[in-house]
Amino acid sequence: MSTSTSIVAILYQARWYIASALFASYLAQSFRVYRRLAHVKGPWLAQFSEAWLLGAIYRQRAHHEFYAVNKKYGNLARIGPNTLLTCDVDHVGRMSAPRSPYVRSDWYLGFRLAPGIDNVFSMRDEKAHTKRRAQMNLGYTGKENINFEPQIDIHVLNFINLIRRKYISTYPEMKVMDLAQKAQYFTIDVITDLATGAPFGDLATDSDQHDYLRTTMEAQPAFVMIGSVPSVNKFIQIPFIGKRLFPTAEDEIGMGKMIGIAQEKVAERFDPVSKLKIEKPDILQSFINHDLTKEEAVSESLLLILGGSDTTASAIRATMLCILTSPQAYHSLQAEIDGAVLSSPVVRDDEARKLVYLQAVILEGLRMHPPTGGLLSKVTPPEGDTIDGIFVPGGVNIATNTWALMRSQNVFGPDVDCFRPERWLNVSEAKYAEMARVVDMTFGSGRFKCLGRTIAWMELNKIFVEFLRNFDWAVVDPTNPWKSANLGIIVHREFYVQVTKRGAGK
CA angle 247, 306, 211 (to 5 degrees): 55
CB count within 10 Å of CB 64 equals 15
Q: CA-to-CA distance for 85 and 65, rounded, in angstroms?
A: 11
Residue 400: φ, ψ to 5°: -100, 125
Query: In this structure, which amino acid lies at residue 15?
Result: R
Element (H, E) at 497: strand 496-501
β-strands 397-400, 83-86 pairing: parallel
Closest CA to 260 of 294, 298, 306, 209: 298
Handedness of CA 133, 227, 296, 127 (dihedral sign): positive
Angle between helices 51-58 and 62-73 (to 10 degrees): 130
Q: CA-to-CA distance for 273 and 279, rounded, in angstroms?
A: 11
Say if residue 114 is exposed, middle or buried (CB neighbours under 10 Å; 0-12, 13-18, 19+).
buried
| Beta carbons within 8 Å of 12's beta carbon, 6+ residues apart | none
Distance of CA 394 to the CA centre of its chain: 27
* Contact yes or no for 79/399 (Cβ under 8 A): yes
CA angle 45, 46, 47 (to 5 degrees): 90
**Distances in whole angstroms, Cα of residue 316 to Cα of each of 180, 364, 480:** 9, 12, 18
Q: Is 450 annotated as a binding residue?
A: yes
Q: CA-to-CA distance for 398 and 25, rounded, in angstroms?
A: 27
Closest CA to 452 of 202, 263, 191, 259: 191
| Beta carbons within 8 Å of 461's beta carbon, 6+ residues apart | 347, 349, 352, 353, 358, 362
Which residues contribute to the annotated binding site? 450
Which residues contribute to the annotated binding site for heme? 450
